Amino acid sequence: MGLDLTTIDRVKTITKEDFIKNYFKPQKPVVIENFVNDWPAHSKWSLEYMKEVAGDKTVPLYDDRPVDFKDGFNEPHATMKMGEYVDLLKREPTKFRIFLWNVLKEVPILQKDFTFPDFGLRLLKGLPMLFFGGTDSYTFMHYDIDLANIFHFHFEGKKEVILFDQKQNKYLYKIPHSLIVREDIDFSNPDFDKWPALKKAKGHITHLEHGNVLYMPEGYWHYMRYITPGFSMSLRALARNPSRFGKAMYNIFIMRNYDNLMRRIKGQKWIDWKNEQAIIRTNKENKIA
């Protein structure tokens, strides 16, 4: 028995009106399969092309090690030249991922390969971010600090995505004062003896291939596993729901600073306390002895 996941709707393409009515307003995820076929990126973007245009750029790398109090918020674990990193991805499985890499800033020429689509939401023009990963590398289940509406465009390879909405928080072993759940949960094959509350969580699943775009509604938790090496670009629009927008402001200006302060004061004890609290609070809320 696995997680209770429903397959995300897939459409070939979609009009702005249908997107707003059927997915944005009800805050429901969707995969649009052929939305970017007319972008130059659709035919050009591959790992090899990235190596060609950005091979000499130094890139920040992250892996799946547990959070350490010495790591600042979103600090990389290593760096490498993009060319070497692409060679590594193609050569062997690696846990190293590139995360939140700003295309416009780092390689402005890539801007010519895509246009900002009109989904009826105002996309943040300065923040197209790229994400890369190798076979079987994955991101911890997390949600974004700004609880934005996210459009995730996938290029090369295949990727598995599992989503949960914020109503599932009480089943996910969420870490207090952070945006992640317990990092030792394997969402592609969870151990329900160890994490019994997960059985009650209701989520969504899909697989992305080259040229697919996934819409993730405001504040959705997401876990992504690269089945083969590949990369994606995310475009975002601010949360429109007032309470989610308020929570985003709280996360950015209060929660993040408080967490960094506590890491400095208490060190690893703070991280250990938060991990313990995730279990205590989830069990209490679900009346699990």
pLDDT, one tens digit per residue, over 97-130 is 998 888 778 899 999 999 999 999 999 988 789 9
- What does the DSSP 8-state code read for residue 140? E
Among 122, 108, 120, 4, residue whose Cα is nearest residue 57? 108
**How far apart are the C-alpha atoms of 19 and 97, rounded to whole Å?**
31
Among 179, 163, 187, residue whose Cα is nearest residue 31? 163
Inter-residue contact 243 to 249 (CB < 8 Å): no
> Residue 210 corresponds to which tokens in the numbers above?
């080259």
In which band, very low, low, confident or very high, does the pLDDT at 62 lie, cut at 50, 70 and 90?
confident
Res 41 pLDDT > 90: yes
pLDDT on residue 208: 98
pTM of the shown model: 0.94
In which band, very low, low, confident or very high, does the pLDDT at 66 lie, cut at 50, 70 and 90?
low
Inter-residue contact 59 to 85 (CB < 8 Å): yes
Alpha helices in 92-205 (DSSP H): 103-106
Mean pLDDT of 27-32: 98
**How far apart are the C-alpha atoms of 236 and 253, rounded to whole Å?**
19
Among 60, 89, 87, residue whose Cα is nearest residue 75? 60
pLDDT digits (tens, 9 = 90+) for 137-166: 998 899 999 999 999 999 999 999 999 999
> Residue 260 corresponds to which tokens in the numbers above?
């960094």
Determine the Cα angle at 75 with ends 275 and 98, to 5°.
Answer: 105
Distance in angstroms between the alpha carbons of the first and the last residue of the chain: 22
Q: What is the mean pLDDT of the chain?
A: 93
pLDDT on residue 71: 59
Beta bridge partners of 32: 11, 213
| DSSP labels, 17-77 | HHHIIIIITTT--EEESSTTTTSHHHHH-SHHHHHHHHTTSEEEEB-SPPP-TTS-TT--S
Mean pLDDT of 207-217: 98
**How far apart are the C-alpha atoms of 40 and 113, rounded to whole Å?**
5
Alpha helices in the chain (DSSP H): 16-19, 40-44, 47-54, 82-91, 103-106, 242-250, 256-266, 268-285
Neighbours of 173 (CB within 10 A): 25
pLDDT on residue 153: 97
pLDDT on residue 11: 98
pLDDT digits (tens, 9 = 90+) for 247-288: 999 999 999 999 999 999 999 999 999 999 999 999 999 999
Res 6 pLDDT > 70: yes
Res 68 pLDDT > 90: no
Res 73 pLDDT > 80: no
pLDDT on residue 105: 86
How many Cα atoms sit within 13 Å of 155 on the Cβ side? 23
Among 195, 197, 168, residue whose Cα is nearest residue 184? 195
Inter-residue contact 31 to 11 (CB < 8 Å): yes
- What does the DSSP 8-state code read for residue 92? S
pLDDT on residue 169: 96
What amino acid is encoded at 4 in this protein? D
